[in-house]
Amino acid sequence: MTANRKRSLRRTAPRASARSPFTIALLSVLAVATSCATLGIGGVTLISVEEEWEMGRQLEAEIAEEMPISDDQTLIRPVTQIGERIVAQSDKADLEWRFHVVEDESVNAFNVPGGLVYVHSGLIAEADDEDELAAVIAHEVGHGAARHGAERLSQQYEMALLAQVVLGEDPGLVQQIAAEIAAAGTLARHSRSQEFEADELGVEYLHAAGYDPEGMLRFFERLLELQEREPGAVERFFATHPDLEDRIEAIEEQIQELRAGVQAPR
C-alpha cells in the first residue's frame, strides 16, 4: 500500500460502526493481506493471539514513554513472582507475560493487550499481604487471558488501523493508544460481565496457585471503605472496575463452592 493511500485511509476511516462499501472492501483486502484472523461481527476479537502479543511489545515500549514505570526491584520482584505463579494457572501460560509497577500513589492496576499487567505502587502499599496483592494481579491476568483488552481494542479501532499497529506500520497510532491508556485508562475500562469473568478466573487462579482467594474479598472490601474515607485515592480503580458490591457477593459464592468442592470431592 502506498503512503498516500495509507494516509487517506487513516483520515477517512470512521470511528463508528457505519462503514462505507469502500471501507468494507479495503478491510477485506487488509484482512487477507495481513492474515488478521477473520473479519468478525460483533464482539469478536479481530486479531489473533500471536498478533495481540506482538502488538503488546509495541505498546509496552510506548507506555514506558507515557507513564512513570518503576525500576525499584523491591516492588517489581514480588509483583513478577506472584504474576508468574498466577499466569501458570491460566490457559495462556505458554506465552510471555510482563509485569510492571507504575509509580503512582493512587490505588489501581490494569491489563494491556499482549500479556501486560501494570500495578500502581499505591496499590502495593495498600495491600496488607501477598494474598491481597495476588488477588488484584489474578483479576488482571483474568482480563488478559480472556482477551478483554484485545476485544475492546478491536471495537474501538478500525480493523485496518489495528492491522497497521500489528504490522508496525503506524507507530503514531501505537503512541496514541498508549497515550489513551496512560491518560484515561479507556482500554482498561471493561464491561460489567468482563469484570465478573475476570474475578471468576482470578479466584480460580488464586486457588490453583495456592493463594487464599479470601484475599480478593478482603482487598475489595477495604477499597469500598477507602472510597468513603478517601475517594480520590480509588477514583480510577472504581472507574475501571465497576460494580464492586455485586462482585464481592459473586466472589463469596464462588469461594464457598470451591470450599464445598474441596471438602466433598465428587
Q: Which residues bind Zn ion (CB under 5 A)?
A: 195, 198, 241
Smallest distance from Zn ion to CB 230, Å:
21
The distance from CA 53 to its chain's CA centroid, rounded to whole angstroms, is 12
Torsion sign (Cα): 101, 106, 111, 112: negative
Smallest distance from Zn ion to CB 125, Å:
20
Taking the least distance from each CB to Zn ion, the nearer of 31 and 99 is: 99
Smallest distance from Zn ion to CB 145, Å:
12
Taking the least distance from each CB to Zn ion, the nearer of 126 and 195 is: 195
Smallest distance from Zn ion to CB 143, Å:
5
114: closest CA among 133, 140, 88, 139?
140
Q: What is the full DSSP assignment across 104-170?
A: -SS--EEEETTTEEEEEHHHHHH--SHHHHHHHHHHHHHHHHTTHHHHHHHHHS-HHHHHHHHTT--
Cβ atoms of residues 111 and 151 within 8 Å: no
Taking the least distance from each CB to Zn ion, the nearer of 89 and 108 is: 108
Distance CA 188, CA 143 (A): 9
Smallest distance from Zn ion to CB 67, Å:
18
Smallest distance from Zn ion to CB 134, Å:
15
Taking the least distance from each CB to Zn ion, the nearer of 37 and 109 is: 109
Host H or E run for residue 98: strand 98-102
Host H or E run for residue 100: strand 98-102
Taking the least distance from each CB to Zn ion, the nearer of 51 and 195 is: 195
Taking the least distance from each CB to Zn ion, the nearer of 152 and 241 is: 241
The set of cell numbers assigned to 223 is 477499597
